[in-house]
Structure 1
Amino acid sequence: MASDIDARLSQLRARRRGDPTSEYIIKADSASPSYFALDAAEIEDWEKRGSSNQRWTRYAIGAMQPVGKKYTEVSEQTGERVAKQLLDRLAKAGITAEFRLQGSVPLDVHIKRVSDVDVLAITKDFYTYSTQGVQALRGGYTNPTVRTSAGVLSDLRQRTELHLFEAFPAAKVDKSGAKAVKVSGGSLARSVDVVPAHWYDTKDYQVSGRHADRAVTIYNKATGETIDNLPFLHIERVGARCDSINGGLRKSIRLCKSVKADSKRDIGLSSYDIAAVMYHADMAALSVGRYSDLAVLSETQRHLDALYRDPGAAGRLWVPDGSRVIFDSAEKRDWLLSLSLEIDELLANVVQENFSSLLPNGISQSVQRELVKALQV
């Protein structure tokens, strides 16, 4: 067990600091190499919490902390740099586009210093809309076209691949992804996934006009199918719920993602699904995380355990944007169990090293949760 926690702490530090010899760290930090060399060796606050014998406790606390702001800014700036190159090249080809970040970075639930960035490349020359929306029913859409989503996005995908090769000749452009073109290496400080898309005006958007209610349609190169997503509504709802409790929800999401990354179990839940699962946790319990990080571990364990034990309740939970149920396949139930077991074991190990006389295997998980919730480290 000791070797397991040593390995996990090492992996956690590597994700949060990055490999100082990595090409991404060197490129991102080349403007101030001495500063960032010192920064990479810096001991983070979570590593100073508790004693040297409280390694599981340190891991639990560290696993839920946000990545440093300056590293997130590098990720965002790299995405913006790629977007600027594509914007100019697409404009010369007669395509007006706009770009938006999506995924873990703008939501601030990423767990790596060197995080990949997801960029939506959205054509403004074509969009679709719900024919049942109020604007459509009032005749507000008057630009019929024979073009199709699949045709437009297939062309945009091909042009994106070509322009990325042109803009970043020293980088690697991976065209194999079904939904995204990945560009990495060369002069880029981060790997960037570019997802071609167009706007889709939902019924809600036609009423509200809010950016968050507007969907995007993306293209699956492997199948030729199109998919409607609501990435901005997901970010808005998860972010707002987290902000209302001063950060506990994001901590819980990062904790689960970190445990997944370090587990030897098969946990195929995506970052999106993990965020959706924890979105339905007890926010009052997670709000205690503003005073005690370990209260987040306590509620995370309770929630995951409760969901696995009550498949009916789990099956009724929807993702935050309301587009589908979370557990829409049998394998996701298996992955939930694996994640739940990991958090069970983490809770027990934290109890063991802080309350060794109580022998956590001999006390109920509800008692373990109460002990950890009240623990100040």
Structure 2
Amino acid sequence: MARDISRRLSSLKTRRRGTDRVGRIAMDAAADVLAKRYITERYEELADGKPYTRYALGAMQEVDPEYTRIGIREANRVGNQLDKNLKALGIAVTFRLQGSVPCNIHIRGVSDVDLLTLRTEFCTTEPGAGTYGTSTFQPVAALRELRKHAEAILRDAFPKADLDTSGAKAIAISGGSLQRPIDVVPSHWHDTADYQRTYLEDDRGVKILENKKGVTLLNMPFRHIKLVTERDFRALSGLKKAIRLCKHVKNDAAEEGRQIDYSSFDIASTLWHADMGRFAAGYNNELLILSEAQRFLDELYHNTDKAKTLFVPDGSRRVFDNDDKIAAMKLLSFELDDLAKEVAYEQRSYAKILYENNWQELNKILKDSPYQL
């Protein structure tokens, strides 16, 4: 299926505004989202007559901070209900956010917010690293109990909401009185050796219940957010802009019939290894962020041995730990190639004839065409 830039611009706008998900939020919140759909964003005023350029610029930008604030507020609201009612049952919990929203790499005005619901009567430690007493709790059983009670509490506290309990890791709740969809994730603390040395929460692990398999899975969400954010600071915000760009491109390719099975986590982990100096140059010319994202994915496309050496930021696994992920990366690379070419052609009409596959010249055109939001 051909790429349709008019449709992509429309999808970009509805995704950022949240109008694509008004059916999953409270009626008053939906009315507010719909009322704002006619507000013009800065990127929409740039690159007149150059739709590919406008799309690339818009896809990099963060979601309106007010939309993000509402998502975090609603997650806290759900957490308050769980905290109150679980305490009444003698179950102690605490809450944290994980995922794209706290990392500020989400691309939707109405984003699902991941709410870690951590049972705190016990934690696990790395073998040989901990000095804690042995817990009488069985983690899987304890988290299954937590999940069972959380489902009942959410059903009672938000009776008009849609509650989806089919997921292996999260209880998804949306609609009713909720202004954003929330994913409640039963979990508990895992004190790594690093955490026992530093007592920094960034070094603390989380074990999440995989309910269908009856196991717990170790995540390091706070370390991931910290490392991506630190590197983005070095890149003068260019890293997170590149991540958002790639996520939008992936979504639009899927809507056009080209599914790319490349998770947000793996996209962020891949671009974390790109050239931060080149991303930083995008501070004054945001098309250079597109240029570097395209260049780096193209490099990995042609050097899969290098791709297979890359680790996720927290070092817990390789980014491309199976061939399906390599294939997905290559599909996204194709998409960025196409977008970067079309943007360059818009800047210099002769480029399509003279430089169709000459990336040195195409990237020079992007470098010499400054746009800044």
> Taking structure 1 as the reference length, what is the TM-score of the superposition?
0.93
In structure 1, give the amino acid aligned to 2:237. G
In structure 2, give the amino acid aligned to 1:274. I
The 2-side partners of 1:27 and 1:300 are apart by 39
Q: What residue in structure 1 maps to residue 153 of structure 2?
A: 163
Q: Does 1:6 align with 2:6?
A: yes
In structure 2, give the amino acid aligned to 1:223. K
Q: What residue in structure 2 maps to residue 187 of structure 1?
A: 177
Deviation at 1:25, TM superposition (A): 7.1
Q: Does 1:69 align with 2:65?
A: yes
Q: What residue in structure 2 maps to residue 284 of structure 1?
A: 277
Q: Secondary structure at the match of 1:59?
A: helix
Q: What residue in structure 2 maps to residue 321 of structure 1?
A: 314
Q: 1:2 to 1:291 in 2, by over 3 A?
A: farther
Deviates more, 1:148-157 or 1:322-331: 148-157
Q: What residue in structure 2 maps to residue 19 of structure 1?
A: 19
In structure 2, give the amino acid aligned to 1:128. T
Deviation at 1:28, TM superposition (A): 2.6
The 1-side partners of 2:309 and 2:20 are apart by 45
The 1-side partners of 2:2 and 2:193 are apart by 55
Q: What residue in structure 2 maps to residue 150 of structure 1?
A: 140
Q: Does 1:366 align with 2:360?
A: yes
What are the Cα deviations for residues 325-359 of structure 1, in whole angstroms up to 9, with x where unaligned? Answer: 00011111110011000000000101111111122
* Equivalences for residues 202-213 of structure 1 within 5 A: 202-213=192-203
> Taking structure 2 as the reference length, what is the TM-score of the superposition?
0.94
What are the Cα deviations for residues 349-375 of structure 1, in whole angstroms up to 9, with x where unaligned? Answer: 011111111226535112212211231
The 2-side partners of 1:149 and 1:178 are apart by 16
Question: Which among 335, 341, 345 is matched to residue 334 of structure 2?
Answer: 341
Deviation at 1:246, TM superposition (A): 1.6
The 2-side partners of 1:178 and 1:64 are apart by 32
Deviation at 1:16, TM superposition (A): 1.0
What are the Cα deviations for residues 296-320 of structure 1, in whole angstroms up to 9, with x where unaligned? Answer: 0000000000011111110010001
* Equivalences for residues 65-104 of structure 1 within 5 A: 65-104=61-100
The 2-side partners of 1:367 and 1:20 are apart by 38
Q: What residue in structure 1 maps to residue 114 of structure 2?
A: 118
Q: Is the 8 A contact 1:294 1:372 kept in 2?
A: yes
Q: Secondary structure at the match of 1:299?
A: helix
Stretches of structure 1 lacking an aligned partner (at least 5 in a row): none
Q: Is the 8 A contact 2:71 2:110 kept in 1?
A: yes
Deviation at 1:64, TM superposition (A): 0.6
Q: Is the 8 A contact 1:46 1:61 kept in 2?
A: yes
What are the Cα deviations for residues 105-148 of structure 1, in whole angstroms up to 9, with x where unaligned? Answer: 00000001011110000011111111332xx2xxx313x23322
The 1-side partners of 2:76 and 2:278 are apart by 37
Q: 1:354 to 1:197 in 2, by over 3 A?
A: same
Q: Secondary structure at the match of 1:290?
A: coil
In structure 2, give the amino acid aligned to 1:372. L
**How many residue pairs end up in the alignment?**
366
Q: Secondary structure at the match of 1:222?
A: coil
Q: What residue in structure 1 maps to residue 132 of structure 2?
A: 141
Q: What residue in structure 2 maps to residue 331 of structure 1?
A: 324
The 1-side partners of 2:66 and 2:270 are apart by 29
Q: Secondary structure at the match of 2:172?
A: strand
In structure 2, give the amino acid aligned to 1:308. Y
Q: Secondary structure at the match of 2:190?
A: strand
In structure 1, give the amino acid aligned to 2:14. A
Stretches of structure 2 lacking an aligned partner (at least 5 in a row): none
Q: What residue in structure 1 maps to residue 190 of structure 2?
A: 200
Q: What residue in structure 2 maps to residue 174 of structure 1?
A: 164
Deviation at 1:21, TM superposition (A): 9.2
Q: Is the 8 A contact 1:298 1:370 kept in 2?
A: no
Q: 1:6 to 1:203 in 2, by over 3 A?
A: same
Q: Does 1:249 align with 2:220?
A: no
Q: Is the 8 A contact 1:25 1:114 kept in 2?
A: no
In structure 2, give the amino acid aligned to 1:106. P
Question: Which among 274, 292, 301 is matched to residue 308 of structure 1?
Answer: 301
The percentage of aligned residue pairs carrying the same residue is 41
The 2-side partners of 1:371 and 1:182 are apart by 46
